[in-house]
Structure 1
Amino acid sequence: MSKTLQAARLREQVAAILQGAGSAAEEARTVADNLVLANLSGHDSHGIGMVPRYVDAVAEGGLQPNTAMRVQLDAGTLLALDGRRGYGQVVGMQAMELAIARARELGSCIMTLAHAHHLGRIGHFAEAATAQGLVSIHFVNVLSRPVVAPWGGGDGRFGTNPCCIGVPLAGQPPFLLDFATSRVAQGKMRVAHNKGERVPPGHLIDEHGRPTDDPGVVVVPQSNGLFGALMTFGEHKGYGMAVACELLGGALSGGGTWHRPADQARSVYNGMLTVLIDPARLGTQDAFEAEARAFVDWLRQGPPGAGFEGVQVAGDPERRARAARERDGIVVDDATWAELVAAGAKVGVAVTD
């Protein structure tokens, strides 16, 4: 079962819960807007379903409301920033705004952000950069219970470690590649488990290292108290990308990497390496605009393959989902809604549809 709600209503409800958990009104609205935008974009894994975890993280002291990022190093085109365990949707945008301004001034910027609580959908940050005409590259690690197995391994050793690349395209929406290095995001398994769905083969192993189609193995403890694990995309290639995200997003940023037994903490920390490039300052703006546009047009002119309506580029599915869900509403499964109601009750906020 499920219910369908309009985005505006969900923003109100989520903001109220976050305020109840200690956030100032502006911060609550910022985080709520970000989460609902993820739902609108078709990424329910990064949407309102995260709120119960945020409420728990605040209660355990791992997530610090009303916390701003801090500059650790400012060396022109090099920025080292500390998120100080603040809401990632807030400190992440503070970091991006500083890096974007620096890239527009100097032509490029390499920025690291450490100790941010869950950044959410990384594509949100790339969209902010491409809107300013900048190329945006992000490597992110995840410090939480390790849910992804290395290629050839039988248990979780690291997080879903996303990578994102945004490229502005003259006269049309940007190319926006945003993906977890696991076959699917952990949050998508939570959504599937809540809906009582199974998943295709090749996505998961159970707590014994055997293939399974049950998303619950990475959502709730199994009979022996252990969890299963997600697989990386692209076999050894996706595994290599996941390790790169851990080394660049985690080690290089100073935020740390995962190398300890799992715990039950609800907090989720991200480290991020961001590289911003201004094509205008690089001296290739005209050729860049012409060639990028020509290539994307060339892709779209190709005939559709069997079972497809046409060729898409990264970012198209999210834009299509936003239009449809803004019009028709956002479908929330009953289990996710019940978790949202319970999260509200923990902070004295009544959640109604």
Structure 2
Amino acid sequence: MQISANRLTATMQSVLQKAGCEENEARIVTEHLVAANLKGHDSHGVGMLPHYVEFIRKGIMHPNTPVRLLRDSGAVLQFTGDRGFGQRTGKEAMQAAIERVKTTGVCLMTLSSTCHLGRIGTYGEMAADAGLVSIHFVNVNDLDPIVAPWCGSEARFGTNPICIAFPPTEHNAAFVLDFATSVVALGKTRVAYLAGKTFDEEVMLDCNGVSTNDPKVMWEGEKQGALKPIAKHKGGGLILAAEMLAGLLSGGGTIQPENTRQGAIVNNMTTIVIDPTSMVSMAWLQKEYDAMLDYVRSSTAPDSTQPILIAGEPEMLSQVQRRADGIYLSDQEWQKIVEAGISLGMNPAEFALIA
């Protein structure tokens, strides 16, 4: 089914308010989720809502919880999310870091113990829109691991995303590189599973360590399978680096089993925000940025149907298309959202109006 972004936004905000979120928080979370769908990242979009409702019901996710400052050491800011909505706490922590950079030139910011941050590229975009550079490392704890180490068969990590963002120029959009350190995000396996699809490549391991392209190994059976890390041994090192940078520097901890697991998606994030004008002029940076992107694009693409795209451009193209055509949700994913709303006391007619 295709749903317009505006109609989807209004309904999802109603679900969140029924779940206990105040209006402003519901708006922040909804805008983040719908933006993820618009930009082609359905894994981090409105399909997460049923999980959030369940986390709130279990008392392991806390609505209406702002970010809390633990330490302010000038260029170093340490926050905790206290299990609040990550879309809110992440935004608030990034706003503080962006403001701090105005006086310090660089800011190391950590955010610990916040529920699902959502699409990490959102925070890179915040920095880029402010004319800043940002680097983000994220780990996941509070739930069982889902990504196997390189050469391993049992999971030992979350998907541990990394994001790097550079500001836009008059001629080029922002560079926003945002990727999970697993071959696919868990949410993408959820979307494929609910749609009854398989992947083109064997991006997962079943519970016996056998490679597979069938997402049901992540969602069916007593023993869950595992996602593969990206880039073989290099990805195996990168996923562990993200685990340590996010889990250790934030104080939120890693996914190792001595730390408590209550079953929510809890993230820690270590972020570096840089004002590039503290080192080079913005005019020179923009000129060099444009020249480098032109140079990259000048390489001949063997397949004309697969042009060279800069990080961030696929999201822009998706957003244009989905604003025009609507956001696609599988019937199964939509049904889970409807069931979550009904469980909160919403009238089924509220969903029928936009389906």
TM-score (norm 2): 0.95
The aligned runs of 1:189-204 (5 Å cut-off) are: 189-204=189-204
Note if contact 1:36-1:48 (Cα within 8 Å) is conserved in structure 2: yes
2:158 pairs with 1:159? yes
Aligned to 1:35: 33
1:243 to 237, 240, 243: 240
For residues 260-282 of structure 1, the C-alpha deviation after alignment (integer angstroms, 9 at most, x for no partner) is 29999541000000001111122
Note if contact 2:136-2:269 (Cα within 8 Å) is conserved in structure 1: yes
1:101 to 99, 102, 105: 99
Note if contact 1:146-1:262 (Cα within 8 Å) is conserved in structure 2: no
Q: CA RMSD in A?
A: 1.5
Which letter does structure 2 place at the counterpart of 1:299? V
Note if contact 1:114-1:272 (Cα within 8 Å) is conserved in structure 2: yes
Note if contact 1:56-1:266 (Cα within 8 Å) is conserved in structure 2: no
Deviation at 1:303, TM superposition (A): 2.2
For residues 232-258 of structure 1, the C-alpha deviation after alignment (integer angstroms, 9 at most, x for no partner) is 110111111110111011111011111
Which letter does structure 2 place at the counterpart of 1:90? R
Aligned to 1:79: 77
Aligned to 2:288: 291
Note if contact 2:253-2:259 (Cα within 8 Å) is conserved in structure 1: no
Instruction: Give, in whole Å, the separation in 2 of the partners of 1:211 and 1:266.
Output: 26
Change (3 A) 1:62 1:89: same
Deviation at 1:60, TM superposition (A): 0.7
Aligned to 1:230: 227
Aligned to 2:132: 134
Instruction: Give, in whole Å, the separation in 2 of the partners of 1:230 and 1:39.
Output: 22
Aligned to 1:92: 90
Gaps of 5+ in 1: none
Which letter does structure 2 place at the counterpart of 1:101? E
2:177 pairs with 1:174? no
2:334 pairs with 1:328? no
SS at match of 1:236: helix
Gaps of 5+ in 2: none
Instruction: Give, in whole Å, the separation in 1 of the partners of 2:193 and 2:263.
Output: 18
2:298 to 298, 301, 310: 301
Note if contact 1:80-1:112 (Cα within 8 Å) is conserved in structure 2: yes
Instruction: Give, in whole Å, the separation in 1 of the partners of 2:325 and 2:203.
Output: 30
Change (3 A) 1:71 1:268: same
> Aligned residue pairs: how many?
348
Which letter does structure 1 place at the counterpart of 2:288? E
Deviation at 1:198, TM superposition (A): 1.1
Q: Which moved more, 1:250-259 or 1:118-127?
A: 250-259
2:270 pairs with 1:258? no
Deviation at 1:200, TM superposition (A): 2.6
Note if contact 2:129-2:168 (Cα within 8 Å) is conserved in structure 1: no
Note if contact 2:192-2:215 (Cα within 8 Å) is conserved in structure 1: yes
For residues 294-345 of structure 1, the C-alpha deviation after alignment (integer angstroms, 9 at most, x for no partner) is 0001112332222534211000000000000001100110110010011101
Note if contact 1:199-1:213 (Cα within 8 Å) is conserved in structure 2: yes
SS at match of 1:169: coil
Which letter does structure 1 place at the counterpart of 2:56? V
Instruction: Give, in whole Å, the separation in 2 of the partners of 1:217 and 1:71.
Output: 40
Instruction: Give, in whole Å, the separation in 2 of the partners of 1:178 and 1:169.
Output: 16
Deviation at 1:13, TM superposition (A): 1.2
SS at match of 1:94: helix
Deviation at 1:24, TM superposition (A): 0.5
Aligned to 1:341: 338
2:203 pairs with 1:206? no
Deviation at 1:176, TM superposition (A): 0.5
Instruction: Give, in whole Å, the separation in 1 of the partners of 2:336 and 2:197.
Output: 18
SS at match of 2:173: strand
Which letter does structure 2 place at the counterpart of 1:31? V
Q: Which moved more, 1:64-73 or 1:281-290?
A: 281-290
Instruction: Give, in whole Å, the separation in 2 of the partners of 1:287 and 1:193.
Output: 48
Aligned to 1:188: 188
Change (3 A) 1:124 1:336: same
Aligned to 2:114: 116
Aligned to 1:273: 270
Instruction: Give, in whole Å, the separation in 1 of the partners of 2:307 and 2:18.
Output: 46
Instruction: Give, in whole Å, the separation in 1 of the partners of 2:259 and 2:241.
Output: 21
Instruction: Give, in whole Å, the separation in 1 of the partners of 2:210 and 2:174.
Output: 40
Which letter does structure 2 place at the counterpart of 1:178? D
Instruction: Give, in whole Å, the separation in 2 of the partners of 1:24 and 1:242.
Output: 35
Instruction: Give, in whole Å, the separation in 2 of the partners of 1:95 and 1:308.
Output: 40
Q: Which moved more, 1:295-304 or 1:23-32?
A: 295-304
TM-score (norm 1): 0.96
Which letter does structure 2 place at the counterpart of 1:35? L
SS at match of 2:65: coil
Identity rate, percent: 42
